[in-house]
Chain A
Amino acid sequence: MNLKIIGVGSFTQNELSEFTAPPQWRKATRNMIMATASVQRALGEPQPQWLSEASERVGLIVGTNSGELDTTTEFLATFVKSGMARPVLFQNSLHNATAGFTSIQFKMRGPSFTLSSGNNTATECVTLAESLMADGIVDICIVICVEGHQRVAEMLELGLDDESLRDGACALILATTEACGRWGYPDALELDRVQACQAYPPPKIAPFYQIEKLGMFRLVQKLEAVK
């Protein structure tokens, strides 16, 4: 199946300090902010019609190795030190909390998956998007890869300047050829599957996967530069 790209967006750690999140994101974790902001950029303004008119036919796939690691460790550290389990921290600590948050922000009603497949996370995300389209379940799929582990890296004093520890997210919006015709994307690029599915390199410092070295992330940034 030939997948078309109808939107790209990325968000790097360096942007977090300057980014002004909307009020409804006040309880969002770093991962949620990065992932959702990436999607927001990929969707553009105004948001496309298919998001509101056909949301059941839009899939969401989040690929992450860190998951909500920062929130998990904050929850555990708080519990260890004070004996107090904070419910907001817990609900945000689940691996699929990022997908849940993003789907709520955009009122998404189609299938939502969270995958965590090591080096091959990006491949599995794209393959799943293809499979869902081939099965006729969705026409459009938002694929996000996100890694967030700064808090743990700080705790371990690993050196925040090390580029291998940087957090970030990228979003690719993929569509079938038919959906491109229906929703007005006549010039949509075909997905470079080879680059999009490039594996993560082995972490320089395990277990921290380097999002900026991910093929999909680089592809998204390249396409953003010419948007």
Chain B
Amino acid sequence: MTKPRPQVGITGLGAITCLGRGAAALWNGVESGRSGIENGLGRVADQALADLPIDLQKNRALAFAVATIDESMQQAGWSKLNPDDGLIVATTTGLYQKWNQSFAQFVRGQQRAVDFLSDFRSQPLGELTAAISEHYAHTGPVSLVSSACSASTQALAMASMWLRQKRVKRCLVVGVEVLCDLTVDGFKSLQLLSENPARPFDRERSGINLSEGAGALCLEAYSEGPRPLAGLAGYGLSSDGFHMTGPHPEGDGSFRAMQMALKTAGLEARDIGWVHAHGTGSVQNDLAEGLAVARLFKDRLPWISSTKWHHGHALGAAGAIESVLVIQAMQRNMVLCTQGLENPDERIPVKHPTSNLEIHDLFVLKNTLGFGGANATVIFSPPIAEVSQ
């Protein structure tokens, strides 16, 4: 049986993470078994931005975005963003760094209200999108998604809609996140952080590593652009409607998002060779997600892994960064294993690769589960238009 041809392809990738600048640095770091996590956090080294103009370096979120957008556009062969191109940004903190220090000084009485207000103009998340649009002189449709950890994956789903519904000719998706005290202290207060690199799906897992960075993907309609790196075959979206921070205990929402993704892709469960999990290393997330995968795939379990031991959890940028990694793995016919997984949690009945595997013609399901119960799934297909059984 011939699998349906995806209508949307990914033609360019860009990334910046604690493993370095560039999609290749991300890949090389993961393939060589390296972790960019130090003291429980994944920071992008300042040197990674050293070649950017000083003004840009001072605006870390914008610097991350520009570095990755430039890389992805170069690979896709886009010389600029046209008025009929779309831009979708995903983030939870935006330009927060531009005003948080000022706010602390204001609260301590060390800064006047009028001076704080000047910095505070950067507060709306849309200011990041405006800054990116201005940098690229982009006048086409823009949107910003802020659905916590599912933001980037939702942005990919939106890009797919925009292209297939002909709102735009091409679409750039960029997920951006900068480490800040708000998120670090906030997650600490929820007792969700680990000081060591995360151990997704391990029975001894003890929490997540927050990280920063950006991932950018250029998307085009399949018939219009160059031969894509991979197809975006389908997407799934759902809510748990259950809890503000914890997932549904049996991963019900994630199950439905994955189920929808298979349906929109015109695929069956047995077509998926690899689930690249959200797999944060938190006790609740990995259990819920694993149970959802087991329920969906039953006796046709694909390999399941998480790579957050290497690069941490970049919140709103996670889906984009990890999609960049997944597509590079697909190009090399490789399923990545879960570093940090020594003793799989026996309550999670899934199939973990114990080392990186060579598998051809991979269809990969990329999962994210976000705070507020927002679940999003995308399915990537091989670049070949049709794969015959």
**A and B form one complex:** yes
A residues contacting B by CB (< 8 A) are 55-56, 60, 65-67, 69, 72-73, 75-77, 79-81, 85-87, 90-97, 99-101, 103-104, 106-121, 124, 127-128, 131-132, 134-135, 137, 152, 155-157, 206-207, 209
A-contacting residues, B186-217, CB 8 Å: 186-190
Select B373's contact among A112, A124, A156, beta carbons within 8 Å.
A112
Q: Pick the residue among A66, A79, A95 that contacts B92 (CB under 8 A).
A: A95
Min CB distance B171 to A, Å, is 12
Main secondary structure of the interface of B (DSSP, over half): helix
| Interface band, chain B | 35 or more
B104 contacts partner chain A, Cβ-Cβ < 8 Å: yes
Q: Contacting B116 at CB < 8 Å: which of A79, A95, A104, A156?
A: A156
A123 → B minimal CB distance (Å): 9
How near does chain A come to B326, taking the closest CB pair, in angstroms?
22
Q: List B residues 228-267 near A (Cβ within 8 Å).
A: 237-245, 253, 256, 260, 264
Assembled-state Cα–Cα distance A190/B209 (Å): 48
Which single residue of chain A is at the shortest CB-CB distance from B184? A85
Can you spell out 13 A-B residue pairs with CB atoms less than 8 angstroms apart? A56-B256, A75-B186, A80-B104, A96-B372, A99-B374, A104-B373, A113-B154, A115-B146, A116-B144, A117-B143, A118-B124, A119-B126, A157-B113
Q: Is residue B387 contacting chain A, with contact meaning CB distance below 8 A? A: no
CA distance A75 to B116 in the complex (A): 17
Q: For residue B245, which residue of chain A has the nearest CB?
A: A91
**C-alpha gap A111/B147 in the complex (Å):** 11
Report Cα–Cα, A2/B147, bound state, in Å.
Answer: 27
Question: Are B239 and A109 touching (Cβ within 8 A)?
Answer: yes
Residue of A56, A87, A109, A209 most packed against chain B (CB within 10 A): A109
The distance in angstroms between the C-alpha atoms of A106 and B239, with both chains bound, is: 11
Known contacts A86-B189, A93-B186, A137-B260: A81-B107 contact under CB 8 Å = yes
Docked complex Cα distance between A108 and B238 (Å): 9
B145 at interface by CB-CB < 8 Å: yes
Q: Which of B103, B116, B124, B374 has the most CB of A within 10 A?
A: B124
Besides A76-B182, A100-B374, 12 other A-B contacts (C-beta < 8 A): A55-B241, A69-B123, A79-B181, A90-B190, A96-B372, A96-B374, A112-B237, A116-B94, A117-B142, A118-B126, A132-B161, A152-B120
